[in-house]
Chains A and B, each alone.
Chain A
Amino acid sequence: MKKIIFITLSVIVALVVFVAATQSTAGLKVGDTAKDFKLKNIDGKMISLSDFKDAKGFIINFTCNSCPFAVLYQDRVVEMQSKYGKSYPVINIMPNDVSIKPEDDFQHMQERAKEVGYQYYLLDAKQEVVRQFGAERTPHVYVLDRNLKVRYIGAIDDSPQNEEDVKINYVTSAIKAIENGKEPEPSFTKAIGCSIKFKK
């Protein structure tokens, strides 16, 4: 009898620990479906994912002006935009609280977009979208399929400091997997960069 009680209690404790652990990391996981949003682009127009009727998916890139890692990836992001943007629009979203990082404010975003060539660079002023996704660093990428199902989360590639040293581009390999009806491998990496600055 004692044994049964012990086992039952162990299972309950394990479940509680498990639930607590999964709840503490809010946000989307691979396999979840993202919610559409409406945010202001650098040209002043409001953008939603539903605007892209022919998209086969999306590359959602939480990024900013101020983080050195985000800067290292600017040209690579624009490269992805011209290579995949037609079928997989590259949607850059700036999630930082601009009172902490003034160099990330809307005017600076406009300047940077013009300078590097971002087509979409949306301001998440209320930080609602970043919380929904659960992004924590810049750059932090989510690859979605046409049904907004999350297929990959993490870094853009495996070599932030040096593009020539890239062995795996995680984003393009995820897109190839989606195109071939396969699961991206890996579907998750750690996004290396700066912590997103949330309102205090």
Chain B
Amino acid sequence: MKYTTAILLLYMVLLCACNTEKMKMAEETTTTPEAKNIEVATIQEMFYLPTAIGNVPVYNSFEGIEPLFQQKNDTLYIINFWATWCAPCVEELPYFEKINEAYREQKVKVILVSLDFKRQLETKLQPFLEKMPLRSQVVVLTDNKYNNWINKVDANWGGAIPVTVIYKGEQRQFFSDQFSDFEELENVIKKLI
């Protein structure tokens, strides 16, 4: 058992080392004060800026919402991927809403990322939100090149929804199944908060 722990720790150290190196590189490239780079950055920023459906922002590219997964503060983030066409997703939305309500005095942030299809935002998502107004923050992601971004959320994401990322600082858990009830979700949150 000791050895398993040792090996796991070694793996984790190696993984962390790789990550920080990548981050350093990212920092270097973004802080280069060259006019050309700044121009590129602005164009990219424009590209990542959301449009909107009602008052819900719609992102075309995963890069637009990527910072949501990288917050380094003491807030607990609960990020759930769902869609109106996904029955188990819709079933568990009330659990997230209940968390959002029950923990609003605490450093807890619930974000519901809708993966509804771009061409169905007005016909499916908008009527859904009018019928069932969500009090948690809702964003829409229509990035169609799934194989380019789902691994950035979690390598274990198979390719279906619902999935949920729950994290605070360096502690992070990925759930690739529907929560069976509110208590199951709340237990995870109680442990991490």
Interface contact B3-A161, CB-CB below 8 Å: no
Chain A residues contacting B68 (CB-CB under 8 Å) are: none
> Given A162-B118, A165-B144 in contact, is the A190-B3 Cβ separation under 8 Å?
no
Say whether A55 faces chain B, with CB atoms less than 8 Å apart: no
Question: Does A9 reach chain B (CB closer than 8 Å)?
Answer: yes
A160 near B146: Cβ-Cβ < 8 Å: yes
Say yes or no: A191 contacts B144, CB within 8 Å: no
Residues of B within 8 A of A (CB): 3-4, 6-7, 85-86, 117-119, 142, 144-147, 150-151, 157-160
Q: How long is the Cα–Cα vector from A129 to B169 in the complex, in angstroms?
A: 43
Q: A14-B7, A68-B117 known; A193 and B160 CB under 8 Å?
A: yes
Residue in contact with B144 in the complex, picked from A13, A14, A159, A193, CB distance below 8 Å: A159
25 cross-chain CB contacts under 8 A? A10-B3, A10-B6, A68-B85, A68-B117, A137-B158, A137-B159, A155-B146, A155-B147, A155-B159, A158-B147, A159-B144, A159-B145, A160-B144, A161-B118, A162-B144, A189-B147, A190-B147, A190-B151, A190-B157, A191-B159, A192-B146, A192-B147, A192-B159, A192-B160, A194-B86
Whether B145 and A13, one on each chain, are in contact in the complex, defined by CB atoms closer than 8 angstroms, is no
Q: What residues of chain B lie closer than 8 Å to A124, measured between beta carbons?
A: none
Which residues on A are within 8 Å of B, measured CB to CB?
Answer: 6, 9-10, 13-14, 17, 68, 72, 136-137, 155, 158-162, 165, 189-195
Q: Tell me the smallest distance from the CB of A50 to a CB of chain B, in Å.
A: 31
- Asked if A137 and B160 make an inter-chain contact with CB atoms under 8 angstroms apart, the answer reads yes
Residues of B within 8 A of A13 (CB): 3-4, 7
Q: Is the CB of A195 within 8 A of B160?
A: yes
The winner among A9, A68, A159 for most chain B CB atoms within 10 A is A68
- Please report the C-alpha to C-alpha distance between residue A136 and residue B176 in the assembled complex, in whole angstroms: 13
- Chain B residues whose C-beta falls within 8 Å of the C-beta of A159 in the assembled complex: 144-145
Query: Is there an interface contact between A10 and B146, defined as CB atoms closer than 8 Å?
Result: no
Complex Cα distance, B158 from A165, in Å, reads 22
Closest Cβ of chain B: how far from A90's Cβ, in Å?
21
Q: List 6 A-B pairs, minimum CB-CB distance, nearest first.
A: A195-B160, A190-B159, A192-B159, A192-B146, A161-B144, A68-B85
A178 CB to nearest B CB, Å: 21
Q: How far is the CA of A189 from the CA of B151 in the complex (A)?
A: 11
Alpha-carbon gap, A192 to B146, bound state (A): 7
- The CA-CA distance from A14 to B85 in the complex, in Å, is 42
Chain A residues with CB below 8 A from B85, complex form: 68
